[in-house]
Amino acid sequence: KRYPAKILSCEEIRCQGYSEPNAGSDLASLQTRAVKDGDHYVVNGQKVWTSFAHVADWMMLLARTDPSVPKHKGITYFLLDMKSPGVSVKPLRHLTGEAEFNEVFFDNVRVPESQALGGVNNGWAVGLTTLMYERLTLGFGLQMRLRITFDRLLDLARRMQKGGRPVTQDPVLRQKLAQLWIDSECLKYTGARGITKLLRGEMPGPEASTGKMVWVDAHQRLQELAVELEGPYGQLAKGSRWAVDGGVWQHSFLRSRANSIEGGTTEIQKNIIAERLLGLPKD
């Protein structure tokens, strides 16, 4: 009861300690170790691409607690206090100049055994459940953001001209806009199906990957189209006095390139859909 209340009230921020330098898409190969010491575990290792670790209060940490068993079975899911001695965070600056992602290092960090969520060596199942909920809820929220951004794109299109004519008279452009609207509608109903499952008390399943994958493709195409509409002005960075709409489209275009990597790469989403939804042979 203590943790959900703080999450819902936004009194505490959480980050995910999943990916490592040599364990990204193959997450089960993670090497961060947690060794039992009395009623605590001592954690040593490194995480990377951890969103908002520099402002987080807690980390949902996957660490290897038993290296003698198959890789999926020796992982534990810890709730780690980011203020614990031995935790250090190094921000990673990306294309837009912002530092949203981070490296996190653990040097003999002590975590109470009572903060092992789901039990010791059962972290893989807990971690996958977390990811499925993330993809489901993100997919629903991001669909609404996509529709808002699409409306802004329509406004941009109505203001831009090409060859002395409004670009909205271009049938190719109109088709691209229509396809984005269709994608947005598909995402809306995909998200609604997922939320309905939650309201019924059901667990989210692998179908959550479809929403994430479709959103990534639609969002990246939307940002590409916005920069295309701006023509040469699309090269101007955010804050430039000559940039259209203050350069927000160029900034969003650069940021969107990470969409197909973060939260599970598009390739991984395709594998999940192929294997778990379509029943195709494993990759």
> Which residues does the annotation mark as catalytic?
134
Q: 85: how many CB neighbours lie within 10 A of its CB?
A: 9
Which DSSP string do the residues of 180-235 spell out, in sequence order? HHHHHHHHHHHHHHHHHHHHTTPPP-TTHHHHHHHHHHHHHHHHHHHHHHHGGGGG
What is the pairing mode between strands 14-17 and 58-64? Answer: parallel
Are 101 and 51 contacting, i.e. CB atoms less than 8 angstroms apart? yes
Helices (H) and strands (E) in the chain, counts: 6, 10
Structure tokens at 178: 């229509």
Q: Determine the Cα–Cα distance for residues 219 and 128; give it in Å rounded to an integer.
A: 25
Q: 55: how many CB neighbours lie within 10 A of its CB?
A: 12
Residue 109 pairs with which residues in a beta bridge? 43
List the one residue out of 123, 109, 122 whose CA is nearest residue 18: 123
Residue 102 pairs with which residues in a beta bridge? 91
Q: 177: how many CB neighbours lie within 10 A of its CB?
A: 18
Structure tokens at 236: 């101007």
Collapsed DSSP state (helix, strand, coil) of residue 22: coil
